[in-house]
Amino acid sequence: MSPRAIRGAMGRNVRSDDMESFDRPGKRTRPRTKDRPDYSKLPTARVITIDRGRYRCQLDDDVLVSATKARQLGRKGAIVGDIVRLDGDVSGEEGTLARICAVEVRRTVLRRTADDNDPFERPIVANADQIMIVTALADPPPRVGMIDRIMVAAYDAGVKPILCLTKADLASPDELIAAYEPLDVPVVVTSPGSDLAPVRELLAGHVTVFVGHSGVGKSTLVNALIPGVNRSTGVVNDVTGRGRHTSTSAIALELPDEDGWVIDTPGVRSFGLSHVTPESVLASFGDLSAFTDQCPRGCQHGTNDPECGLDSAVARGDLAPERLDSYRRMWQAGRLKDWEL
């Protein structure tokens, strides 16, 4: 309350010097320090899921802890996959609550935007080193545009892409395998009841995020890899050919008997790439970058760019045309606006 308001409330006979004790301290009167709290001694944990402002974290000794987030970290300060420092009660007992004080430096961040005109990036998961793009060969049918766009996001994030083709009992995988063979992307094929040893081999020792359309079998695959986890599964709409969202939030799950994690994410129907640049995609193709030194200024290395060094490399026989076609498909996927997925 200001001195004027206090005088009005207490009467006109109050002396002004009596009001000094009611004044707010002036600016810069409080001693300040450059010292910041030291959180380095606090225990670390991995954020495994987030639900309505509560962060479920797993400590190094496998204890599960519920936590809130410190205000200074901001609204998007911690995401699934983050390694965080916890303060407070980390016993994991029912009714206890810890606090996330700091987020360790992320090795990678997989991002997307709502659409290609959205300037705001939405981080999906942190610290994944692989992304398994799960797509069905039928029911719903594969969408190459979506696969390409997720791969572009993976290249931009520095995350290794893997293609997992499910429901091989309904359609042949040969066409899709041939389409991605020039990219040197590992491809695994599954069907109901099939041996998942090739999938486990690719996942062992890695943090892998599963991404794909609803209804393609991500959660079914997770349930088979981690018995007892019981992720919800759904069916595909016969009219639209699209799956229903069954997983509503991302969750990190530790692989049994193996040194690795999988992060199951909700099904996506769009994958905006407004945050991606052609340079970041090209950087993931190390063998192509060597041929762009002689490109004219402003060359985007696309199909219609004259005197592109990549075309010259193909003409000389230094670069396989299939490899260049695959790169340009990725490049085009990153440029298209309002892709209908």
Feature table: binding site for GTP: 166-169, 212-220
Which residues belong to the annotated binding site? 166-169, 212-220, 295, 299, 301, 308
SS3 state of residue 54: strand
CA dihedral for 8, 14, 16, 17, sign (positive or negative): negative
How buried is 23 (Cβ within 10 angstroms: 0-12 exposed, 13-18 middle, 19+ buried)? Answer: exposed
DSSP letter assigned to residue 243: B
Which residues belong to the annotated binding site for Zn(2+)? 295, 299, 301, 308
Prior bond of 140 cis (ω within 30°): yes
Closest Cα to residue 81, out of 54, 104, 52, 99?
104
How far, in Å, CA of 323 to CA of 282, rounded? 12
Q: Which amino acid, residue 174?
A: D
Q: How many residues does the chain have?
A: 341
Distant-in-sequence, close-in-space partners of 41: CB < 8 Å, separation ≥ 6 = none
Burial 98-128 (b: 16+ CB within 10 A, else e): bbbbbbeeeebbbbbbeebeeeebebbbbbb
Strands 160-166, 187-189: parallel, antiparallel or unpaired by DSSP? Answer: parallel
Residue 238 vs residues 147, 170, 232, 235, 244: alpha-carbon distances, Å: 22, 15, 19, 9, 11
